[in-house]
Chains A and B, each alone.
Chain A
Amino acid sequence: MDTAPDTIKPGSLRAGDTVGIVAPSSPMFEDGQIEFTFAWLKKLGLKWKLGRHLKDHHGDLAGVDEARLEDFHEMWADKEVKAVFPIRGGNGSVRLLPHIDFELIRNNPKVLIGFSDITGLLLPINQKTGLITFHGPTAGSFFDSEYTFNNFKRALFDTNPIGAIEDPDDGDNFAPEYPPYRLVLKEGEGDGPLVGGCLTLIRQLMGTEYEINTDDKIFFFEDVGEEPHAIDQMVTQLLLAGKFDKVKGVVIGECFDCKPGKSRRNRLNLNFSMERMLKEKLSHLEVPVVYGMRFGHSRCKFTIPIGARARLKTDGETFCFDIYEACLS
């Protein structure tokens, strides 16, 4: 493994800045959805530039690889653009990796934020350049809930550390969605830089030069529409690859639509719940393991800076997930 590059922190966003909206993976479902994005960017006082191929379609991709790559590179090269906001995940980011100009990115550090398929850019860019990247909402979803919006703003506009993560305010919700926000599978305390993302993407990078490095890190992951047996296969692969050997802590997300029968793929008759499977696979670890926090595909999601240091502590009554290192310059 190469020695990790020095950490680079992108500049914070402020009103008046311009962001670049691109589609490195799949396109918006409906072109008009971008109107919501514009309205919410205005509330933040942000201006925007659109990738020229933002509305291209090629199968489930937003245009052919060359087109998506061109837009992505253009935004990094554009001095006016302070942040790169993918409009959506979907599929296709990893196809771009062999052609991405990491030097260009290293020399023009800026905010990159997204989740799901965008994990395929967040992880390799962080690992290759040292730039802190943000696992958070896309340009099409940062306004999905008040919680999502507030956490997004807190991560990208405030140069202070993000600090302790608080759960969504349940208000009058008498029928909460399972799992609870903080289901502790293993108690303990750990401290290290954050790394992780969507599990399917983490698998997609295995065996490549962009494979995730989890050593001495707090490892977070989640997925969507994968039943427990499918998550099990990915977690088992990571276990066999030693990806849990040196972690300092594990934070597993809600994993939306990952309950048995929920995926609409429904391949096995008998099943275990996520909770039971995760306990069986990960409770032998000697670091804290938490399941249920809301990030990634959860409607309410907090933003996680990949590469910034955090502390995870779960013992008895105490629970603390504190992103204590500032992630912006």
Chain B
Amino acid sequence: MTAAIKPRALKKDSVVALLAPSSRPPSPVEVNRCKALVEKMGFKVVVGKHVLDAHGYMAGTDAARLADLNEAIEDDSIEGIFMLCGGYGALRLLPEINYRHLSKNPKVIIGSGDCTAILLAVHKMTGGMVVFYGPNLNEVVDKRGFELVKEAVCTRGSLTAIEPNFDFNSPEHDLKSYCHSSIEEDVEGVLLGGNLTSLVSLMGTAYQIETESRLLFLNDNKERNDILDRWLTNLTVCGAMQAAAAVIYGEFHDCYQRGAYSMHSIYELIIERMDRLQSPYAVGFPLGEGGRPSVLPIGIRARLGKNNAGLTFLEAAVESD
């Protein structure tokens, strides 16, 4: 595998662009809140010109959203791109993104949900640039989320390991959540993944993921279990699921059963599938999108531990200077 292309870590006064390549943030107030958050992290903020445009379910036409994105990519004074929100529309932009410029001038890109399509396309088309699967700013609503994002984009060494299960000695842990895993020995691999719906929307296109020996992570929210099962079947039938070193499933926050005829929870659907495939997996891992937030850099080596499914990052996500 070729070495990862890493962006530079952000530092005080780095310039960060806030963009909405998918749907529109709900209001100018929300944009200002996100701007204040990022300024509080110590960065200077440029808000995309078109983030409050409306074109149906998107924040402006494809041309408008693309102009914001490529301007942020091509302006070398901008060191980071933070996504304001998900929704739908990122997929439409993929053919025209300036991947060439990014591969020579990598910068921090962080987002999730529908923006997964951009993360995965950038990672693939730049030949392995590290991108950050982490909360869109509209999901950063508490101190913990704020610290997570800030740490992820500023830390020069490896990020702090994620311990997915509660520890009774720690007041911070959410006692509602618990991660279940079937890992008999530690599994190492390069991280790859994101929002399941968005990731599957790349299948059959030039941006399709390659999961061979990757630590594949999948998450979604507010989606029907039977639809999620379809997308997991897609990844199974094309062999992507089996090729991965292990699969890490998120909490699938607010995902639900269709009607009352289907009694299986999404976790049961996943566990049954993975047990059949005899592939190592963890399910209920904190991956954000409504569940407990984390930031996972796509493209760096990590280790999923056999005890408690802890995820240890084995290299820095950013270039050391």
Residues on A lying within 8 angstroms of B by beta carbon are: 26, 29, 59-60, 90-91, 94-95, 97-98, 200, 203-211, 228-230, 232-234, 236-238, 240-241, 243, 265, 267-272, 276-277
Contacting residues of chain B (194-217) with chain A, CB-CB under 8 angstroms:
197, 200-208
Contact (Cβ within 8 A) A95 B269: no
Give complex CA distance A46, B233 in Å. 35
Determine the distance from Cα of A60 to Cα of B231 in the docked complex, in whole angstroms: 15
Q: Which residues of B contact A234 (CB under 8 A)?
A: 201
Complex alpha-carbon distance, A224 and B268, angstroms: 26
**Chain A CB within 10 Å, residue with most, of B54, B262, B263:** B262
User: Inside 8 A of A207's CB, which chain B residues have their CB?
Assistant: 203-204, 208, 234, 238, 240
- B233 and A237 contacting across the interface, CB-CB below 8 Å: no
Minimum Cβ distance to chain A for residue B279 (Å): 15
B87 CB contacts on chain A under 8 angstroms? 229, 267-268
- By a CB distance below 8 angstroms, the chain B residues around A268 are 23, 57, 87-88
Q: Is the CB of B88 within 8 A of A232?
A: yes
Instruction: Verify if B144 is at the interface (C-beta below 8 Å from A).
Output: no
B233 touching A272 by the CB < 8 A rule? no
Residues of A close to B54: CB separation below 8 A: 270
- The residues of B that contact A204 with a CB separation of less than 8 Å are 230-231, 233-234
Question: In the complex the two chains form, what is the Cα distance from A234 to B230 in whole Å?
Answer: 14
A94 touches B23 (CB 8 A): no
**A272 / chain B contacts, CB cutoff of 8 Å:** 56-57
Within 8 A of A (CB), among B73-128: 87-89, 91-92, 94-95
B40-48, B184-192, B220-228, B312-320: which lies at the interface: B220-228
B94 surroundings in chain A (CB, below 8 A):
240
Q: A97-B237, A208-B234, A208-B237 are in contact. Are A60 and B206 (CB under 8 A)?
A: no
B side interface size, CB within 8 A: 46
7 extra A-B contacts, CB within 8 A, seeds A200-B230, A208-B234: A59-B264, A91-B229, A91-B230, A95-B236, A207-B238, A208-B237, A268-B57
Q: What 1/0 mask marks residues of chain B from 1 to 29 whose CB sits below 8 Å from any chain A CB?
A: 00000000000000000000001101000
Q: Complex formed: what's the CA distance from A194 to B223 in Å?
A: 32
Instruction: Take A60-B258, A60-B262 as given contacts and tell me if A211 and B204 are in contact as well, using a CB distance cutoff of 8 Å.
Output: yes
**Is B261 close to A, CB under 8 A?**
yes
Name the A residues within 8 Å of B258 (CB-CB). Answer: 60
- Taken together as a complex, chains A and B put the C-alpha atoms of A206 and B235 apart, in Å, by 10
Quick check: B224 and A265 within 8 Å, CB to CB? Answer: yes
CB distance from A37 to the nearest CB of B (A): 19
A271 vs B201: C-alpha distance when bound (angstroms): 20
Say how far A122's CB is from chain B's closest CB, in angstroms. 16
Q: In the complex where A237-B201, A237-B202, A265-B224 touch, is A60 in contact with B234 (Cβ < 8 A)?
A: no
Closest residue of chain B to A271 (Cβ to Cβ) is: B57
How far apart sit A236 and B121, CA to CA, in the bound complex (Å)?
15
Taken together as a complex, chains A and B put the C-alpha atoms of A271 and B257 apart, in Å, by: 24
Give the chain B neighbours of A94 by CB distance below 8 A: 230, 233-234, 237
Partner among A200, A237, A277 whose Cβ is within 8 Å of the Cβ of B205: A237
Q: Cβ of B237 and Cβ of A98 under 8 Å apart?
A: yes
Hey, which chain A residues are within 8 Å of B229, CB to CB? 91
Complex contact A270–B231 (CB within 8 A)? no
Residues of A within 8 A of B233 (CB): 94-95, 204
State whether A236 touches B91 (Cβ < 8 A).
yes
Complex alpha-carbon distance, A200 and B89, angstroms:
18
